[in-house]
Amino acid sequence: MKKLSEALTELGIAFKFPIEIRDADGNETYREDSDGYCYKYEWDAKGNATYYENSNDYCRKWERDAKGNETYYEDSDGITRGTPHSAKTCEGKQMTELMKNQAYIRGAACHEEGGEIFVTDQSGNGNHAKLKQ
């Protein structure tokens, strides 16, 4: 997995640790620390975590009903509770998606395009680095 810090370095964009990305609702979707540890979260519209994955290839997945009650849980250690309603699983999952929506970080834009994730330098010179390979 290519970390965001690596992409920013390739672009020559200065940054400080921790690197943090939050969605429009303020939920943390990505964090990378100076020791190289990073993780990502996905959230539902009610602010409940639906997916978590870290740089050690550990993941958790939650599904909830309309009231926000957990109806299914699974993690990469093989623990499961409930009945899944989604085809997305933790099995063999690697950290490939940075986030669903575009986020700006110190002069760089992170976005998904054609199933690949890019960090683009916002200086207008067209420099970009691929996060998902």
- The whole-number pLDDT of residue 59 equals 94
- The whole-number pLDDT of residue 91 equals 54
Helices of type H across 3-93: 4-11
- The whole-number pLDDT of residue 97 equals 39
- The whole-number pLDDT of residue 84 equals 83
Mean pLDDT by 10 residues, the chain (133 residues): 85 93 93 95 94 93 92 94 73 41 47 58 55 46
Q: Provide the Cα torsion 4, 110, 13, 11; round to 10°.
A: 80
DSSP-derived secondary structure letter, 7: H
pTM here is 0.64
- The whole-number pLDDT of residue 83 equals 84
Closest CA to 76 of 51, 62, 59, 96: 59
